[in-house]
């Protein structure tokens, strides 16, 4: 899921209470919905990457690009959800660390992948030092951001990636208009989502200090409802 507002926190009653108090209503709605969805996603998405060759190919290009850049192996999975990408990233020689807005998603991720570090955190205030990561993955996790939050989010992603490192993102492609999601799960949750225009995503990335190295898209499959898009961008040297 996405990480939209507030600040980083660790799991625990005191930490979560402090974190929750800083949230606006839309962020709280998003967090609460994904707390409900955590076990649903864990079951539904188990092994999904094995059945998605395009997704594996794009992630594989990211992993190969990070290794070739020779800027380290530490990568952040931002909006990691249940942590499902961690095994693949590790199998490609990278050292993933996941962050997500939802405490329940993080609880499930820690249970499923105990050898990986996962924390509750926010894309606008990431718990990583400046230029500390070889790359960041935002796999269907930026499409919950309202337009006003996108520059700050991309700025944070640029801040934590080393020059020469990479950003990869996957997202639902569309007209960038606000939609409501969650009802189809039957779990009584709803939250805001945007099917993002690929050219806007590229503008946000380049405006934050990345250069596009690859972009692609594919038609919708099954119940997806819209095309899927992918962007790989490299962090430019800081001036």
Helices 25-44 and 103-112: crossing angle, nearest 10°?
Answer: 30
CATH of region 13-235:
3.40.50.150
**In whole angstroms, what is the distance from residue 197 CA to residue 81 CA?**
23
Q: Is the pLDDT of residue 150 over 80?
A: yes
pLDDT band at 1 (very low <50, low <70, confident <90, very high): low
**In whole angstroms, what is the distance from residue 121 CA to residue 141 CA?**
13
With 0-12 / 13-18 / 19 or more C-beta atoms within 10 angstroms meaning exposed / middle / buried, residue 141 is: buried
pLDDT in tens, 207-216: 999 999 999 9
3-state helix, strand, coil in the chain (%, to 5): 40, 25, 35
pLDDT in tens, 38-82: 999 999 888 899 999 999 999 999 999 999 999 999 999 999 999
pLDDT band at 225 (very low <50, low <70, confident <90, very high): confident
pLDDT band at 7 (very low <50, low <70, confident <90, very high): very low
pLDDT of 239 reads: 58
pLDDT band at 9 (very low <50, low <70, confident <90, very high): very low
Any idea where the domains of the chain sit in the sequence? 13-235
């Amino acid at each position: 899921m996405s990480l939209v507002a507030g600040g980083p926190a660790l799991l625990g009653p005191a930490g979560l209470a402090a974190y929750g108090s800083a949230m606006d209503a839309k962020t709280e709605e998003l967090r609460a919905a994904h707390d409900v969805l955590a076990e649903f996603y864990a079951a539904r998405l188990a092994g999904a990457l094995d059945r998605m060759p395009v997704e594996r190919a794009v992630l594989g290009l990211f992993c190969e690009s990070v290794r070739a850049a020779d800027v380290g192996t530490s990568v952040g999975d931002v909006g990691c959800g249940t942590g499902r990408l961690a095994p693949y990233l590790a199998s490609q020689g990278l050292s993933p660390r996941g962050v997500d807005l939802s405490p329940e998603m993080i609880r499930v991720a820690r249970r499923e992948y105990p050898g990986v570090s996962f924390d509750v955190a926010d894309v606008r205030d990431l718990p990583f030092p400046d230029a500390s990561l070889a790359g960041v993955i935002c796999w269907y996790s930026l499409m919950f951001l309202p337009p006003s939050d996108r520059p700050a989010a991309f700025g944070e992603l640029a801040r934590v990636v080393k020059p020469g490192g990479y950003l990869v993102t996957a997202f639902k492609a569309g007209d960038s208009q606000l939609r409501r999601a969650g009802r189809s799960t039957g779990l009584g949750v709803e939250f805001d989502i945007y099917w993002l225009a690929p050219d806007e995503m590229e503008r946000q990335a380049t405006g934050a200090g990345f250069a596009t190295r690859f972009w692609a898209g594919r038609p919708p499959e099954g119940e997806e409802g819209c095309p899927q898009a992918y962007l790989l961008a490299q962090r430019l040297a800081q001036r």
